[in-house]
Amino acid sequence: MDLSRNGHPNTKPAPKAVVGRVSLYLRQLESLQRQGLTKTSSHQLGEPFGIKNAQVRKDLAFFGQFGRPGIGYHINDLILVLRRILGVDKDWPLILVGLGNLGRALLRYRGFQSRRFHIVAIFDTDPKKIGQTYQGVTVEPLDALRKGIAAHKTSLALLCVPADAAQRVADLMIAVGIRGILNFAPVPLAVPPQVSVIAVDLSIQLENLAYKVQGSLDGVSWAG
Amino acid sequence: MDLSRNGHPNTKPAPKAVVGRVSLYLRQLESLQRQGLTKTSSHQLGEPFGIKNAQVRKDLAFFGQFGRPGIGYHINDLILVLRRILGVDKDWPLILVGLGNLGRALLRYRGFQSRRFHIVAIFDTDPKKIGQTYQGVTVEPLDALRKGIAAHKTSLALLCVPADAAQRVADLMIAVGIRGILNFAPVPLAVPPQVSVIAVDLSIQLENLAYKVQGSLDGVSWAG
DNA sequence: TAGATTGTTAATCGATTAACAATC
DNA sequence: TAGATTGTTAATCGATTAACAATC
């Protein structure tokens, strides 16, 4: 399947950094669309994120030729093509494993639904939680994982269990066919090469933020 | 102040990527310490994250010389020095602005406390929430921001308000002296250069995961 | 000693930016 | 036409990896 409109055999997988930025461009395009605009430029697409116009063009060029010299990009068209490239032109069922504080917050998170990600099953080991219904979905025991994944044809999982259970649960998920894991547990997961993991580690992010602020704060007495 | 033990005037700021990885090494060091080990190697430090030994040594070399040829690194010593470099050898008071689902989950998140990040004040605009106490902290109105930040000498903020309020609240926080923002709202923030922002955008992360999985799924019928 | 492992230099690789002919 | 903006090539920049003398 050739995802580009013109040219480009599109053989090599896109670099991770490119995909991340294309997601941002899509956000900006949708924002411009809501503002009622119909066309845009590489400058306008990258500007809110501090990305240079040449970078935007290079990133898009990876997937095909979508603009017109002297004119720019047609917003509606580019939204459709980028959604298709990123795979968000269809629904993605998700499972949520581990219904702690974070799990419950994710369950109500608006950002997922608006991007066609839907939590279709919840799993936990706590007998008090099993059988309860949250946001219209009933919590099932971990043993029901295989059946649940098959029923919903799910490839993606949100892993929100405690650190010491994370690898064990991940192994289980992979064994029953999960291909992508958004890992909220603060431990590195060992997974086979066909499985993708993205780690969401808030304390690492906060640590990096503290480092940056520390540098600019050095020798400066607190006052602002 | 020279953060390294020996050599290195330590002038240039560390590349962002280096700092991120050093955080990971610190995690691994703490894990090895809990296992009762006393020394380690560049190989062992990077292995769980798929980082090569040469990369680990290069990253550490940025801050100084901490190992001994033929021996490796002393775990306890390296933990102390990396904590100091990253700035997590001291307490960091945080403010939390926006007490929605995510805000409440962050309030109970264990990963922050264990890294000496403490939420010392909570702000929201909802009159029903103001005055309520969560985890020992009373919710205050946004007008109390300046006073609260001064009282706690806070530089860091968790921004958990809805997208359409994010920029306005960020401007307010910056005006009263906040220097670092962990932004959970799915919008880019425009901030002056002396302020650092790290965006935590779960739907972007999930989108990137879907892209990776889509590639490996292409043409493969669902079955596992 | 032989084996392990460092810090650092050199070589490789990839990513970003600038420049520009082509196009509207 | 003049001005704007593309896609792409070339130049720059930075980051990763390999190699190795020095050290324990």
How does pLDDT run across A16-29, given as a tens digit for each residue? 899 999 999 999 99
How does pLDDT run across A123-136, given as a tens digit for each residue? 999 999 999 999 99
Q: Which residue of A has its CA nearest to B201?
A: A111
Beta bridge partners of B67: B73
pLDDT of res. B15:
86
pLDDT of res. A14:
82
Assess whether pLDDT exceeds 50 at residue B137: yes
CATH of B16-86, one of 3.50.50.60, 1.20.58.220, 1.10.10.10, 1.10.150.530: 1.10.10.10
Are A202 and B109 a contacting pair at CB < 8 A?
Answer: yes
pLDDT of res. A7:
43
Tell me the CA–C1' distance in angstroms for B191 and D10. 34
Task: Output the average pLDDT for chain A.
Answer: 91
Q: Tell me the average pLDDT across B51-65.
A: 97
Distance (Å) from the C-alpha of residue A40 to the closest C-alpha of chain B?
A: 18
Q: From the Cβ of B70, is strand C under 7 Å away?
A: yes
Residue of B108, B179, B188 with shortest CB distance to A213: B179
How does pLDDT run across A54-92, given as a tens digit for each residue? 999 999 999 999 999 999 999 999 999 999 999 999 999
Assess whether pLDDT exceeds 90 at residue B150: yes
**pLDDT interval class at A11 (50, 70, 90):** low
Are B86 and A207 a contacting pair at CB < 8 A?
Answer: yes
As a dihedral over the C-alpha atoms of residue B168, residue B174, residue B180, residue B181, rounded to 10 degrees, the angle is: -10
**pLDDT interval class at A191 (50, 70, 90):** very high
pLDDT of res. A16:
87
Q: Tell me the average pLDDT across B170-192.
A: 96
Tell me the CA–C1' distance in angstroms for A178 and D10. 44
Q: Which of B32, B209, B220, B221 to mutate to test the interface with A (most CBs of A within 10 A)?
A: B209
Q: From the Cβ of A73, is strand D under 7 Å away?
A: yes
- The segment(s) of chain A belonging to CATH 3.40.50.720 are 92-204
pLDDT of res. A12:
66
Q: From the Cβ of B74, is strand C under 7 Å away?
A: no
C-alpha distances out from residue B223 to A149, A150, A153, A154, Å: 10, 8, 8, 10
Which residues in window 62-101 of A are less than 7 A from strand C by Cβ?
Answer: 68-71
Are A112 and B20 a contacting pair at CB < 8 A?
Answer: no
Assess whether pLDDT exceeds 90 at residue B157: yes
Q: Which residue of B has its CA nearest to A107?
A: B101
As a dihedral over the C-alpha atoms of residue B27, residue B28, residue B30, residue B34, rounded to 10 degrees, the angle is: 140
Assess whether pLDDT exceeds 90 at residue A146: yes
| Among A89, A179, A203, A20, CA closest to B201 | A20
How does pLDDT run across B68-108, given as a tens digit for each residue? 999 999 999 999 999 999 999 999 999 999 999 999 999 99
How does pLDDT run across A37-60, given as a tens digit for each residue? 999 999 999 999 999 999 999 999
Q: From the Cβ of A13, is strand D under 7 Å away?
A: no
Q: DSSP states of chain A as a string?
A: ---SSSS----SPPPHHHHHHHHHHHHHHHHHHHTT--EE-HHHHHGGGT--HHHHHHHHHTT---EETTTEEEHHHHHHHHHHHHTTTS-EEEEEE--SHHHHHHHT-HHHHTTTEEEEEEE-S-TTTTT-EETTEEEE-GGGHHHHHHHHT--EEEE-S-HHHHHHHHHHHHHTT--EEEE-SSSPPP--TTSEEEE--HHHHHHHHHHHHHHHHTTPPTT-
C-alpha distances out from residue B25 to B15, B18, B198, B205, Å: 16, 11, 20, 23
Which of residues A113 and A68 earns the better pLDDT score?
A68
- The segment(s) of chain A belonging to CATH 1.10.10.10 are 16-86
Q: Alpha-carbon Rg of chain A, whole angstroms? A: 21
Assess whether pLDDT exceeds 70 at residue A218: no
Are A176 and B206 a contacting pair at CB < 8 A?
Answer: no
Which residue ranges of A are tagged as binding site for NAD(+)?
Answer: 98-103
CATH architecture entry for B92-204:
3-Layer(aba) Sandwich (3.40)
Residues above pLDDT 70, as percent of chain A: 91
